[in-house]
Structure 1
Amino acid sequence: MRNKILPGMAEVTRLTRAGRLGEALSLIQRVVRGRNPDSGAPAPSASAELASAQPTFPKPTVPRPAAAPLRAPQARVMAAPTPGATAPEPPVPPRPAPAAPGLPGGLSGLPGGLPGLPDSLRDLMREIGKVGPLFDGLAEPTVPASTEPGLFLDRSFANAAGQRAYKLYVPRGYRGQAVPLVVMLHGCTQSPDDFAAGTGMNRIAEAETFLVAYPAQTAAANHARCWNWFNTTDQRRDRGEASIIAGIARAVMEDYAVDSRRVYVAGLSAGGAAAANLAAAYPDLFAAVGIHSGLCAGAASDLTSALRAMRDGARAVTPVRDALPTIVFHGDQDSTVHPRNGAAIIAATGGTLLREEAGVSPNGRTWRRSILADGRGRPIFEHWVIQGSGHAWSGGDAAGSYTDPLGPDASREMWRFFREHAITRH
């Protein structure tokens, strides 16, 4: 067995370092099942192996609706609707072919599990396994159709860096008046529908009358549909995915009446890290940022440094001058993104502690909140630590993935925080 494992290990290591985790896990499965990857013996397809290795994953019992088709790439796809009228839908192109299935979210699909593997392979798999929802992919969670009375529209945006679909929630109260916009970035393996269901942000938008945009990462850009927050080219202004997400915000602002002083970005996990990058790259576009279970801007520059930052916490960074108002949520039992990362985000703001508060959510989670001030004494940074919570959206709905219904409502607190902050034009 050892003679078969060692040649495969070298290839697994190479694929992992290259970020090709789907191929790495497929090779591991073949090796563990006794196939020498260099022997030329026939092996089942990656799709078949991954399908057989899928772990049990709890699903909501609500039947899944028919998936909405993606739109063709276009920078602007809709004009602001006439007050009181229903926005027209453009023609629907054929639905793209489905993506290949993702990696299993854990290691339970491997024969014998971790205990039966050689030490070197077990250590590598532990490293990959710790990444959890940031890099490992699952089939798209089943989520119920939106029950909100507003419009939940399929849209698409493209620029020189690429094309992404996105969903846009337009509340019933929108009648052409200037309203805020919140851009929500999902975590790995999630979709806009899943993230909307889990965070409940559309319900808040309906009650408070603001727009919500949900950009969608593709499996082609990242096998697990993670935002590539750890790639330098995707972190910078007018480059890569940062430019695409900012472009989506601007496209909504062109097509609808959006208060340009009140555009916000928030995200979970990989989406939270991407939101931090956007806040640093586009302080003139976004008025505030919400980061849940994420990492600070520039926390990593490649996959290796990303794994290290997730496991140990990002290294201290130089405080950002004139950092955007920032609200951070993190569970103190998060084993995917170390809670030290939440503290690092706040440290990067350079804020000065004003006071600390503690409480218990209606559903039983204890929390601590630190409120910090900027150099002018304004209380514009908040750090929430949810005791007993893991890698999940605090106070989220169980209809979505990676949610902790027991915690304080992160969505409502983020909106409360966003509402307090706007860009001051000089």
Structure 2
Amino acid sequence: MNDEFAAAMRRATLFTRASNPSEATRVILDTLAGRTVSGEHGPAVSDITPPPAKSRPKPFPVDPHAQLIEPAAKPETALAETDTFQRSPRVRRPLGDTLRILSEGRSVAGKLPSFSDGGLPGMTRRSLKPVIPDGAKYLARSFTCAAGTRSYKLYVPASAPAMPRGLVVMLHGCKQDPDDFAIGTGMNATAEARGLMVAYPGQTGADNASSCWNWFRPSDQRRGAGEPAIIAGITEEIIQDFELDRSQIFIAGLSAGGAMAAVMAEAYPDLYAAVGIHSGLACGSATDVVSAFTAMRGDGGLASRTRTLKDSVPACRVRTIVFHGDADRTVHPSNADRIVAAATPSVPGGAASKPGRCAGGLTYETTVLTDEKGRPALEYWLVNGAGHAWSGGHADGSYTDPRGPNATTEMIRFFLDQCE
């Protein structure tokens, strides 16, 4: 045993005694792979460098209850997938009344108590179904390709059933499903008002034990393979079936879904016109479970050494809007800075920041970056006091915080800003 390995084992032992087993594992794996903390050969240079403008809290210890990356179990039988959807009885209401109900966050089943996880509303999982206006459709569909099969829900607006204006693909977070995410974000109501379709791909427990999108696996970070290929396939299927305008195709996600949305924007910049990333991580932030925890806690130096997206894709940046709470204890807010750095145009036209306060009481800071033509290329909303939850969401859905600015309406505004 050489001196370097012995020193690494001593460091790993100290981390273990400090109840930080993931850091101990990282030290051991780094040493076995020939990497060192100080870097005899020097650490590889990251191509995602967080901008220094904003001050962030120091990295926090790994949350043992974090459900952002739990690897899939090995069930004896895979979960059955079906094209049928048992919808709860619909209440027959005029479209205007239904939109008002949706915007208020109510559901057919009624409002339930929703205070848990430190008192923030919207952290408890429900078994509710979205309200569907007369004339609208909420279809249960399935897509299969060489990379696998996923079911998805598809909202077709009553305001434009024959010729929808465009499509928003919504990627849910861990321990969520399409219905829960639709209710929590209120995306159907906002899309209805703008004539947009909404697709909600669903991750399965057979592919990840916590229904997380596998954003941290190299096999699921590439164009034409893994989960990106499935999500892109779902998108293409809807575009072709409804003859949608390709300039108005968007994607957004929360947490693990936000991290996967970042992957999709980098792997398929020719498919999506804009991306919304809420409480997520930049593409390439992790290459395995250990580096995923490293990135989540805000120590992204190691995780950023290797970018896993090596396929040839069109050289362009997807317009990006980012939401993150500065009190997020699951995904450190420094990850939002890394997303901004990755999405920033190489020659921005300028940047402007302004503070704000929403009706729910939370304050926020919005930064807008423009391209060389003066058009908004990126928006970054940092919500003060917000945790790991969809800002401005409805309390009937899980992982929402109704107190903050409405991420749903702001994302749709940003998506359509250059399509008016």
TM-score (norm 2): 0.66
Partner of 1:333: 327
* Aligned ranges 1:214-233 → 2 under 5 Å: 214-233=200-219
Partner of 1:266: 252
Q: Any idea what SS the aligned residue of 1:189 has?
A: coil
Flag structure 1 segments of 5+ consecutive residues without an equivalent: 1-8, 18-53, 55-68, 74-104, 107-137
Provide the C-alpha distance between the structure 2 equivalents of 1:181 and 1:283, rounded to a whole number of angstroms.
Answer: 15
Superposition deviation, residue 143 in structure 1: 3.5
Out of 136, 139, 142, the residue aligned to residue 126 of structure 2 is 142
Partner of 2:408: 411
Q: Specify the code of the residue in structure 2 equivalent to 1:309.
A: A
Q: Which digits, 9 at most, give the CA deviation of each residue in 1:24-61, with x for residues without a partner?
A: xxxxxxxxxxxxxxxxxxxxxxxxxxxxxx9xxxxxxx
Partner of 1:312: 298
Provide the C-alpha distance between the structure 1 equivalents of 2:161 and 2:327, rounded to a whole number of angstroms.
Answer: 43
Provide the C-alpha distance between the structure 2 equivalents of 1:314 and 1:419, rounded to a whole number of angstroms.
Answer: 32
Q: Specify the code of the residue in structure 1 equivalent to 2:354.
A: E
Contact kept? 1:148, 1:203, Cα under 8 Å = no
Q: Which digits, 9 at most, give the CA deviation of each residue in 1:9-32, with x for residues without a partner?
A: 9xxx89x98xxxxxxxxxxxxxxx
Matched, 1:252 2:246: no
Shift of the 143–328 alpha-carbon distance from structure 1 to 2, 3 Å rule, reads: same
Superposition deviation, residue 258 in structure 1: 1.4
* Aligned ranges 1:370-385 → 2 under 5 Å: 370-385=367-382
Q: Any idea what SS the aligned residue of 2:155 has?
A: strand
Provide the C-alpha distance between the structure 2 equivalents of 1:296 and 1:357, rounded to a whole number of angstroms.
Answer: 24
Contact kept? 1:296, 1:314, Cα under 8 Å = no
Partner of 2:275: 289
Provide the C-alpha distance between the structure 1 equivalents of 2:191 and 2:295, rounded to a whole number of angstroms.
Answer: 34
Could you tell me the percent identity over the aligned residues?
49
Q: Which digits, 9 at most, give the CA deviation of each residue in 1:171-201, with x for residues without a partner?
A: 1122322521000000000000000000000
Q: Specify the code of the residue in structure 2 equivalent to 1:263.
A: I
Q: Specify the code of the residue in structure 2 equivalent to 1:345.
A: I
Alignment length, in residue pairs?
A: 300
Provide the C-alpha distance between the structure 2 equivalents of 1:356 and 1:156, rounded to a whole number of angstroms.
Answer: 42
Flag structure 2 segments of 5+ consecutive residues without an equivalent: 1-15, 26-64, 66-79, 85-115, 118-122, 308-313
Superposition deviation, residue 152 in structure 1: 1.2
Partner of 1:40: none
Provide the C-alpha distance between the structure 1 equivalents of 2:196 and 2:83, rounded to a whole number of angstroms.
Answer: 26
Partner of 1:154: 140
Provide the C-alpha distance between the structure 2 equivalents of 1:233 and 1:407, rounded to a whole number of angstroms.
Answer: 35
Provide the C-alpha distance between the structure 1 equivalents of 2:395 and 2:323, rounded to a whole number of angstroms.
Answer: 18
Superposition deviation, residue 376 in structure 1: 4.5
Matched, 1:239 2:233: no
Partner of 1:167: 153
Q: Specify the code of the residue in structure 1 equivalent to 2:341.
A: A
Superposition deviation, residue 205 in structure 1: 1.4
Matched, 1:183 2:169: yes
Out of 385, 390, 405, the residue aligned to residue 387 of structure 2 is 390
Contact kept? 1:292, 1:329, Cα under 8 Å = yes
Out of 357, 376, 383, the residue aligned to residue 360 of structure 1 is 357
Contact kept? 2:129, 2:180, Cα under 8 Å = no
Partner of 1:350: 344
Higher relative contact order (CA 8 A, sep 6+): 2
Provide the C-alpha distance between the structure 2 equivalents of 1:350 and 1:174, rounded to a whole number of angstroms.
Answer: 34
Q: Specify the code of the residue in structure 2 equivalent to 1:215.
A: P
Matched, 1:199 2:185: yes
Provide the C-alpha distance between the structure 1 equivalents of 2:253 and 2:377, rounded to a whole number of angstroms.
Answer: 18
Q: Any idea what SS the aligned residue of 1:198 has?
A: helix
Partner of 1:71: 82
Partner of 2:310: none
Provide the C-alpha distance between the structure 1 equivalents of 2:193 and 2:199, rounded to a whole number of angstroms.
Answer: 16
Q: Any idea what SS the aligned residue of 1:183 has?
A: strand
Partner of 1:133: none
Provide the C-alpha distance between the structure 1 equivalents of 2:300 and 2:344, rounded to a whole number of angstroms.
Answer: 16
Q: Specify the code of the residue in structure 1 equivalent to 2:364.
A: W
Provide the C-alpha distance between the structure 2 equivalents of 1:144 and 1:267, rounded to a whole number of angstroms.
Answer: 20
Contact kept? 2:344, 2:377, Cα under 8 Å = no
Provide the C-alpha distance between the structure 2 equivalents of 1:261 and 1:350, rounded to a whole number of angstroms.
Answer: 20
Q: Any idea what SS the aligned residue of 2:409 has?
A: helix
Provide the C-alpha distance between the structure 2 equivalents of 1:366 and 1:160, rounded to a whole number of angstroms.
Answer: 46
Provide the C-alpha distance between the structure 2 equivalents of 1:350 and 1:237, rounded to a whole number of angstroms.
Answer: 21
Q: Which digits, 9 at most, give the CA deviation of each residue in 1:310-365, with x for residues without a partner?
A: 001534689x9531100000000001000000011001123445210111011111
Q: Specify the code of the residue in structure 2 equivalent to 1:331.
A: G
Q: CA RMSD in A?
A: 3.0
Superposition deviation, residue 256 in structure 1: 1.4
Provide the C-alpha distance between the structure 2 equivalents of 1:180 and 1:173, rounded to a whole number of angstroms.
Answer: 12
Partner of 1:420: 417
Q: Which digits, 9 at most, give the CA deviation of each residue in 1:110-168, with x for residues without a partner?
A: xxxxxxxxxxxxxxxxxxxxxxxxxxxx9x92242221302111110010010001000
Partner of 1:134: none
- Give the stretch that moved more between structures: 259-268 or 414-423: 414-423
Q: Any idea what SS the aligned residue of 1:358 has?
A: strand
Contact kept? 2:138, 2:156, Cα under 8 Å = yes
